[in-house]
Structure 1
Amino acid sequence: MITLSMMLISVGLFLIRVPVSIALGISALIGIWMLGVPPAIIPVRMIDGVDSFALIAVPFFILAGNLMSAGGLTDRIFDFARACVGWMRGGLAQVNIFGSVIFAGMSGSALADLAGLGALEVRAMRHSGYPVPFSAAVTLASCLVGPLIPPSVILVIYGLATGTSIGKLFLGGLIAGLCTAACLMIYIYLYMRLAKPDWGQPEPFRIKDVMQTGVEGAPALLAPIVILGALILGIATPSELGAIAIVYALAVGIWYRHFTWIKIRAAFVETITMTSVIMYLFAVASALNFVVARERIAHQAADFMSGLTASPFIGIMLVNIFLLIVGSFLEGPVAILIIAPILLHIVAEYGMGPVQFGIMLSFNLLIGMITPPLGIGLFVAAKVASISSEAVLKASWPFFLPLLGALMIISYVPWVTEWLPSLVFGP
């Protein structure tokens, strides 16, 4: 009852446009007061919530992504992707998706991909005659690949919130991200083949261009291999990977001579801002979870779902529908910190492991990023393309088909998310 009251209070505060961080703090304070616990427990729980060495990975990966965006890596990635897949049906739309896969191994953030590489992609597609809303929609859909392929900030947050191995989550997200990209590329191919628009013609393939752009962009293209290789070979822990990514981003930026003091300063300011918000949310969520744990909500919810349906297929489908709705109203980190510990008990009843659930949960919330009413991705894409968010939304609806197809693969094919972690870390 107390947890339900906190949720209703939070929703009410959201509706009157109270900032999320403040709304969650007020809800935690009221919930602890209703429990009859001394309010002094709140700062104690908040400090405990952020007293974790693994949390160092969050600012490291955010800073690495910002430095890579400022260091001139995006141009080289786009040129290489264009040389590799520009010959496919769909041309630059396929390049858009393939470029996001490469950039995903550096940024770990969907919005970093959308605002950094996305601006370059939309501009190139516009100059080649692609409709601007379609270009923005492709860019918006492809940026969701980023947080699945390691390194990933959202997977770090889930791992810390549930005690799941971040290394296993990183490896589990790799194949899931590639499957999502494949679904998007197949959809583009079929759309171009069936609709036959005047635009979107493939470009000639030249092995010389592939070799040239590959050599010129080698320092940028090697970043995912360096980062992921350090994890697989056991050279660094997930927390240390962030530091390695920062050093590599600085080295590449200096090599390309693309850094300026203004860009470096902007990268640090953005990192400090995002890290402050995420750390505060961790602290507040710890206080909220204290109330949820006292009421045994996780176990009650698991018992309710197992009594509602014994079918794993239906149960997981209901969880997905719930997450898609939640993602439309809450930002990913907030939703993970609030509901992940509860839902983890529910899906365990259906035989789903924490790694597969973490990827499924994260992808659901990423889809919510491009869904109204919150839909922060819609506004960023609209700003990048210089069109209205309504036009982006209208052009984005067809892309939900391949995205939901990828979600079903992640949800019902455990091999996709669990084979690689089992191979590296053992069963």
Structure 2
Amino acid sequence: MELISVLVLFVSFAFLLLYGVPVAYSIGISTTLVLIINMAFNPSVTTVAQRMTTGIDNFALLAIPFFILAGELMNRGGVANRLIALAKSLIGSLPGGLAYVNIISAMLFGAISGSAIAAASAIGSTLTDKMEKEGYPRQFSAAVNISSSTTGLLIPPSNVLIIFALASGGTASVAALFVAGYIPGILVGLALMIMVYFYAKKKKLPKADRVGFKQLFIHFKEAFLSLTLLVIVVGGIVAGIFTATEAAAIAVVYAAFLGFLNKELRIRDIRGILLKSAKTTAIVMFLIATSMAMSWVFSFEGIPQLLTGLMVDSVSNPILIFLLINIILLIVGTFMDMTPAVLIFTPIFLPVAMALGMHPVQFGMVIVLNLCIGVCTPPVGTLLFVGSGVAQVPVGKVIKPLIPLLLAMVLVLFLITYFSGISLWLPQFFGLID
């Protein structure tokens, strides 16, 4: 019966996705079909509804709408412009400097807002035209913006890491995941900058004028309050002053304060910001609800244990098993959004990874980076379409300059897969994990 349930679940889910049914509905329908096999229709529907409700009845999930709202407030509040000015002062004078500025700005803004899409929209809309005026190919600018925006999904605060903490069943804490994300996120940024360096030398890209210390100090002073948010949010969580949810609420208040202080946010903007944040939250929460119902079915049918046994028995080498998991997740990321992918595949692969000695926090970095690469690739790569749209470049033209940047991200992925210290050193240093 377990094998039949697995086949019904995954075949129906794949068929519905290919037919164009939205991901959340595909998850819900597939879950209900599996339960109908095991029980009558009415109990099946009732069980799915109950599991959807209980799945999102979690205090930690309140952090997600707050961080979404904080990201919208920062996007409107002039934070991106100040971070771009600071990054340009620091490294704009290097060959291909504006591409580096794009990466550093995306890392900073993504980390502060916790949203890759917000980073791609804010940084791309500001820098793409400037880069084109200085001789950068527009499709290259879009590719840099798309790939660098993913760093905000690793560097905290990150909604995806909160969702992984929920999906891991408490084996990985939000605080440990937040701290662990810094080194992998920075490594991704550095890898992208190395690829840009070689591209800049080959194409002889221009560099900006060197900025004096006085101007650098002015830009740092203007961006200082925005950067302080990272210290407040992550520092408060690590120090145990407040939870991730409370930190998210503080981020909203602080982001609103910055927006009004910068005089780029007005009272009349609040209604639109709240409405957009509510719509995004509704989509995310519905995905989480249906995914949690599917995760319960996995547990009910013993699917994780079945797959763990099959993988461990058929492939005895842990290196090959981790390689197989990465390949599967890379493929999954090309056609599934991050939130349902984390919620669906964490209960499947986390037991396998833990059985082979991988720490849950390290696996969190692995699955998130896999899916970061996925959101940059067709056919469903959300970030690819957002970044191309912002740059007003056809998706097909962005793919070629994007490939070397994605390969750099894949290299970092294998580093964090096989070298646990990259992900675990900081959490161990702060005593968040053993």
TM-score between the two structures when normalised by the length of structure 2:
0.95
Does 2:266 correspond to 1:260? Answer: yes
Once the two structures are TM-superposed, the CA of residue 3 in structure 1 deviates from its matched residue by 2.6
Secondary structure at the aligned position of 1:328 is classed as helix
Q: Which of 94, 105, 109 is the matching residue for 2:115?
A: 109
| 1:191 and 2:194 correspond | no
Secondary structure of the structure 2 residue equivalent to 1:217: helix
* 1:230 corresponds to 2:256: no
- Which residue of 2 is the match for residue 16 of structure 1? 19
Distance in 1 between residues matched to 2:164 and 2:199, nearest whole Å: 35
The answer to whether structure 1 residue 379 and structure 2 residue 385 are counterparts is yes
Deviation at 1:127, TM superposition (A): 2.1
Q: Deviations over 1:79-122 (max 9, x none)?
A: 00000111223210111111112112211111111111221121
Consecutive unaligned residues of structure 2, counting only runs of 5 or more, are: none
* Contact 1:316/1:350 (<8 A) preserved: no
Q: Which moved more, 1:324-333 or 1:24-33?
A: 24-33
Which residue identity lines up with residue 17 of structure 1 in the other structure? G
Q: Which residue is 1:324 aligned to?
A: 330
Structure 1 residue 426, shift from structure 2 partner:
4.5
Question: Can you list the C-alpha shifts for 1:265-311, whole angstroms capped at 9, x where unaligned?
Answer: 23212211121122112221222122211221111111111122222
Counterpart amino acid of residue 352 in structure 1: M
Partner of 2:314: 308
Q: What is aligned with 1:406?
A: 412
Q: 2:8 aligns to what?
A: 5
Partner residue of 2:188 out of 180, 189, 200: 180
Secondary structure of 2:181's aligned partner: helix
Q: Output aligned runs, 1:162-181, within 5 Å.
A: 162=168, 163=170, 164-181=172-189
Aligned identity (percent) is 35
Is 2:159 aligned against 1:153? Answer: yes
Q: Is 2:53 the partner of 1:36?
A: no
Does residue 76 of the first structure (1) align with residue 82 of the second (2)? yes
Cα-to-partner distance string for 1:244-273 (whole Å, 9 max, x where unaligned): 111110111111011134532232122111
Q: Distance in 1 between matches of 2:259 and 2:190?
A: 30
Matched, 1:245 2:251: yes
Alignment partners' CA distance in 1, 2:135 and 2:270: 34
With 283-292 and 297-306 compared, the bigger mean Cα shift is at 283-292
**C-alpha separation in 1, matches of 2:311 and 2:120:** 37
**Per-residue CA distance 1:201-248 (angstroms, 9 max, x = gap):** 353242222111111222222222222221222211111110111111
304-313 or 252-261: which moved more?
Answer: 304-313
> Aligned runs of 1:392-403 on 2, under 5 Å?
392-403=398-409
Q: What letter corresponds to residue 301 of structure 2 in structure 1?
A: E
Answer whether contact 1:223 1:248 (CA < 8 A) is retained. Answer: yes
Question: Residue type matched to 2:9 in 1?
Answer: M
The structural deviation recorded for 1:42 is 1.8
- Are the equivalent residues in 1 in contact too, given 2:139–2:393 (CA < 8 A)? yes
- Match of residue 30 from structure 2: 27
- What corresponds to 1:365 in structure 2? 371
Distance 1:219 1:387 in 2: 34
**C-alpha distance in 2, partners of 1:365/1:312?**
21
Aligned in 2, Cα 1:21/1:103: closer, same or farther, shift over 3 Å?
Answer: same
User: What SS does the corresponding residue of 2:335 show, helix, strand or coil?
Assistant: coil
Measure, in 2, the Cα distance between the counterparts of 1:309 and 1:6.
24
> 271, 277, 293: which one pairs with 1:271?
277
Give how far 1:407 is off: 0.9
Which of 291-300 and 262-271 deviates more? Answer: 262-271
Code of the residue aligned with 1:169 in structure 2: it is: L
In structure 2, the residue matched to 1:284 is 290
1:37-84 per-position Cα deviation (integer Å, ceiling 9, x unaligned): 522222211111111111111111111111111111111010000001
- CA distance in 2: counterparts of 1:31 and 1:262, whole angstroms: 48
Q: Is the 8 A contact 2:77 2:258 kept in 1?
A: yes
- Within 1, Cα distance between the matches of 2:219 and 2:148? 22
Could you tell me how far apart the structure 2 residues matched to 1:289 and 1:418 are? Answer: 26
Q: Tell me by how many angstroms 1:349 deviates.
A: 2.3
Mapped partners of 1:220, 1:290: distance in 2: 40
Q: Note the alpha carbon deviations across 1:119-145, whole angstroms, 9 max, x for none.
A: 112122122221100000000110010
- Aligned residues of 1:93 and 1:200 also touching (Cα < 8 A): no
- SS of 1:394's equivalent? helix
